[in-house]
Amino acid sequence: MACGSCGVLKREIPRGEIIVVESAVRDEGTSFHYLAPSREISVDRRVIEIIESTLRELSIPYIKGKTWTTDAFYRETKKIVKRRIDEGCITVEMEASALMAVSRFRDVVFGQLLSSGDDVSGEEWDRRFHPEASSHKERVFWAALECCLRL
Protein backbone atom coordinates (compact mmCIF):
# COMPACT_ATOMS: atom_id res chain seq x y z
CA MET A 1 0.00 0.00 0.00
CA ALA A 2 1.31 3.43 -0.85
CA CYS A 3 0.06 6.88 -0.04
CA GLY A 4 1.05 10.22 -1.42
CA SER A 5 -0.13 13.51 -2.77
CA CYS A 6 -1.16 14.57 -6.24
CA GLY A 7 -2.19 17.45 -8.38
CA VAL A 8 -5.72 17.46 -9.69
CA LEU A 9 -6.90 17.71 -13.28
CA LYS A 10 -10.47 18.52 -12.23
CA ARG A 11 -10.94 21.81 -10.39
CA GLU A 12 -14.00 20.46 -8.53
CA ILE A 13 -11.89 17.94 -6.60
CA PRO A 14 -11.28 19.75 -3.29
CA ARG A 15 -7.91 20.03 -1.59
CA GLY A 16 -7.35 17.08 0.77
CA GLU A 17 -9.75 14.69 -1.01
CA ILE A 18 -8.69 11.05 -0.81
CA ILE A 19 -8.40 9.39 -4.21
CA VAL A 20 -8.32 5.62 -4.66
CA VAL A 21 -6.08 4.96 -7.66
CA GLU A 22 -7.75 2.55 -10.08
CA SER A 23 -5.29 2.85 -12.95
CA ALA A 24 -2.47 5.01 -14.26
CA VAL A 25 -1.26 6.33 -17.58
CA ARG A 26 2.38 5.26 -17.85
CA ASP A 27 4.29 8.41 -18.72
CA GLU A 28 7.45 7.71 -16.73
CA GLY A 29 10.48 5.52 -17.28
CA THR A 30 10.65 3.03 -14.41
CA SER A 31 7.58 0.91 -15.16
CA PHE A 32 8.90 -0.05 -18.59
CA HIS A 33 11.86 -1.81 -16.95
CA TYR A 34 9.43 -4.18 -15.16
CA LEU A 35 6.56 -4.76 -17.58
CA ALA A 36 6.09 -4.79 -21.32
CA PRO A 37 5.13 -1.41 -22.76
CA SER A 38 1.45 -0.44 -22.53
CA ARG A 39 -0.38 2.85 -22.28
CA GLU A 40 -1.96 2.12 -18.90
CA ILE A 41 -1.70 -0.15 -15.92
CA SER A 42 -4.50 -1.04 -13.49
CA VAL A 43 -4.79 -1.99 -9.85
CA ASP A 44 -6.25 -5.44 -9.17
CA ARG A 45 -10.05 -5.21 -8.67
CA ARG A 46 -9.86 -7.24 -5.43
CA VAL A 47 -7.46 -4.68 -3.98
CA ILE A 48 -9.80 -1.82 -4.96
CA GLU A 49 -12.71 -3.63 -3.29
CA ILE A 50 -10.75 -4.09 -0.05
CA ILE A 51 -9.66 -0.45 -0.05
CA GLU A 52 -13.20 0.76 -0.67
CA SER A 53 -14.74 -1.44 2.01
CA THR A 54 -12.11 -0.26 4.50
CA LEU A 55 -12.72 3.41 3.74
CA ARG A 56 -16.51 2.95 3.93
CA GLU A 57 -16.18 1.09 7.24
CA LEU A 58 -14.11 3.98 8.61
CA SER A 59 -16.55 6.57 7.18
CA ILE A 60 -13.75 8.15 5.15
CA PRO A 61 -15.04 9.84 1.99
CA TYR A 62 -13.12 9.17 -1.21
CA ILE A 63 -13.30 9.18 -4.97
CA LYS A 64 -11.82 6.67 -7.42
CA GLY A 65 -10.06 7.36 -10.65
CA LYS A 66 -7.25 7.18 -13.14
CA THR A 67 -4.03 9.05 -12.52
CA TRP A 68 -1.32 10.28 -14.85
CA THR A 69 2.15 9.27 -13.68
CA THR A 70 4.94 11.44 -15.05
CA ASP A 71 8.52 11.90 -13.95
CA ALA A 72 9.03 15.11 -15.92
CA PHE A 73 9.14 17.99 -13.46
CA TYR A 74 7.05 21.02 -14.41
CA ARG A 75 5.95 19.53 -17.74
CA GLU A 76 2.21 19.64 -17.09
CA THR A 77 1.68 21.86 -20.12
CA LYS A 78 -1.84 22.92 -21.13
CA LYS A 79 -1.72 20.69 -24.21
CA ILE A 80 -0.61 17.58 -22.30
CA VAL A 81 -3.03 18.23 -19.42
CA LYS A 82 -5.90 18.42 -21.90
CA ARG A 83 -4.78 15.14 -23.48
CA ARG A 84 -4.70 13.40 -20.09
CA ILE A 85 -8.11 14.80 -19.14
CA ASP A 86 -9.45 13.48 -22.46
CA GLU A 87 -8.00 10.07 -21.50
CA GLY A 88 -9.98 10.16 -18.24
CA CYS A 89 -7.22 11.11 -15.79
CA ILE A 90 -8.30 13.06 -12.73
CA THR A 91 -4.90 13.43 -11.03
CA VAL A 92 -1.19 13.73 -11.77
CA GLU A 93 1.63 12.35 -9.62
CA MET A 94 5.06 10.77 -9.98
CA GLU A 95 5.06 7.16 -8.78
CA ALA A 96 1.80 5.19 -9.13
CA SER A 97 2.44 3.43 -12.45
CA ALA A 98 6.00 2.53 -11.47
CA LEU A 99 4.89 1.09 -8.13
CA MET A 100 2.11 -0.88 -9.84
CA ALA A 101 4.57 -2.31 -12.37
CA VAL A 102 7.14 -3.32 -9.76
CA SER A 103 4.47 -4.91 -7.57
CA ARG A 104 3.08 -6.87 -10.51
CA PHE A 105 6.61 -7.96 -11.49
CA ARG A 106 7.25 -9.13 -7.91
CA ASP A 107 3.76 -10.69 -7.61
CA VAL A 108 2.81 -8.47 -4.68
CA VAL A 109 -0.69 -7.06 -4.17
CA PHE A 110 -0.67 -3.28 -4.31
CA GLY A 111 -2.96 -0.30 -3.93
CA GLN A 112 -2.48 3.43 -3.56
CA LEU A 113 -4.29 6.34 -1.95
CA LEU A 114 -3.59 9.94 -2.89
CA SER A 115 -4.42 13.21 -1.18
CA SER A 116 -5.34 15.96 -3.61
CA GLY A 117 -3.25 19.10 -3.61
CA ASP A 118 -2.63 21.71 -6.27
CA ASP A 119 -4.76 22.18 -9.38
CA VAL A 120 -2.96 22.04 -12.73
CA SER A 121 -6.12 22.02 -14.88
CA GLY A 122 -6.59 25.77 -15.35
CA GLU A 123 -4.96 28.47 -17.39
CA GLU A 124 -2.56 29.04 -14.50
CA TRP A 125 -1.26 26.79 -11.77
CA ASP A 126 -3.35 26.98 -8.61
CA ARG A 127 -1.31 26.03 -5.59
CA ARG A 128 -4.49 25.89 -3.47
CA PHE A 129 -2.58 26.50 -0.28
CA HIS A 130 -4.39 25.24 2.75
CA PRO A 131 -3.15 25.69 6.32
CA GLU A 132 -4.27 22.14 7.13
CA ALA A 133 -2.31 20.48 4.31
CA SER A 134 -0.21 18.45 6.73
CA SER A 135 -3.34 17.06 8.39
CA HIS A 136 -4.60 15.97 4.94
CA LYS A 137 -1.37 14.07 4.41
CA GLU A 138 -1.61 12.49 7.84
CA ARG A 139 -5.20 11.44 7.15
CA VAL A 140 -4.25 9.69 3.89
CA PHE A 141 -1.36 7.96 5.69
CA TRP A 142 -3.59 6.50 8.41
CA ALA A 143 -6.22 5.50 5.85
CA ALA A 144 -3.55 3.70 3.79
CA LEU A 145 -2.28 1.94 6.91
CA GLU A 146 -5.76 0.66 7.72
CA CYS A 147 -6.15 -0.58 4.14
CA CYS A 148 -2.75 -2.26 4.27
CA LEU A 149 -3.74 -4.21 7.38
CA ARG A 150 -6.65 -5.70 5.43
CA LEU A 151 -4.82 -6.68 2.25
Helices 133-150 and 45-57 meet at what angle, rounded to 10? 120
Best CA proximity match to 91, nearest among 2, 14, 34, 35? 14
**Would you write out the chain's pLDDT as a tens digit for each of its 151 residues?**
999 999 999 999 999 999 999 999 999 999 999 999 999 999 999 999 999 999 999 999 999 999 999 998 778 888 999 999 999 999 999 999 999 999 999 999 999 999 998 888 888 877 776 666 567 788 899 999 999 999 8
The reported pLDDT for the residue numbered 138 is: 87
Residue 136: helix, strand or coil by DSSP? helix
Task: Give the domain 2-150 fold.
Answer: Rossmann fold (3.40.50)
Four-point Cα dihedral 48, 149, 112, 37, nearest 10: -80
Angle at 101 between CA 71 and CA 47, to 5 degrees: 115
For the entire predicted model, the pTM comes to: 0.92
Best CA proximity match to 95, nearest among 16, 21, 10? 21
Given the DSSP bridges, would you call strands 112-119 and 40-42 parallel, antiparallel or unpaired? unpaired
The reported pLDDT for the residue numbered 131 is: 64
CA–CA separation, 109 and 52 (whole Å): 15
The reported pLDDT for the residue numbered 122 is: 80
